[in-house]
Structure 1
Amino acid sequence: MARPKKRRKIYYVPNIKLFGPLDNDTPDEDCIILSFEELESLRLMDLEGLDQVECAERMMVARSTFQRIYTEAKKKVADSLVNGRILRIEGGNYIINECTAKCEKCGEVWKAATGNLISNERCPRCGSREFSCIKDEEKGQCRGCGRKHGRCL
Structure 2
Amino acid sequence: MGRPKIPRNICGKPADSCFKPNGIPMTELERVELAPDEFEALRLVDLQGMLQQDAAVVMGVSRQTLANLVKAARCKVVDCLAHGKALMMHHSD
TM-score between both structures, scaled by the size of structure 2 = 0.89
Where does the alignment leave 5 or more consecutive residues of structure 1 unmatched? 97-153
Aligned to 1:47: 47
- What is the aligned residue count? 93
Take 1:28 and 1:87, find their aligned partners in 2: how far apart are those partners? 13
Where does the alignment leave 5 or more consecutive residues of structure 2 unmatched? none
SS in 2 for 1:4: coil
Take 2:58 and 2:81, find their aligned partners in 1: how far apart are those partners? 28
Cα deviation for residue 28 of structure 1 reads: 6.0
With 14-23 and 74-83 compared, the bigger mean Cα shift is at: 14-23
Task: Please provide the CA RMSD for this pair.
Answer: 1.9
Greater helix share, 1 or 2?
2
Q: Which entry has the higher C-alpha Rg, 1 or 2?
A: 1
Greater strand share, 1 or 2?
1
Please show how residues 67-146 of structure 1 align to structure 2 within 5 Å: 67-90=67-90
- The one-character-per-residue Cα deviations of 1:65-124 (angstroms, maximum 9, x if unpaired) are 000000000000000000000000027xx6x6xxxxxxxxxxxxxxxxxxxxxxxxxxxx
Runs of 4+ in 1 over 4 A off after TM superposition: none
CA contact (8 A) 1:26 1:85 kept: no
Higher relative contact order (CA 8 A, sep 6+): 2
- The one-character-per-residue Cα deviations of 1:6-53 (angstroms, maximum 9, x if unpaired) are 111111122411101012245367200001111111110011100010
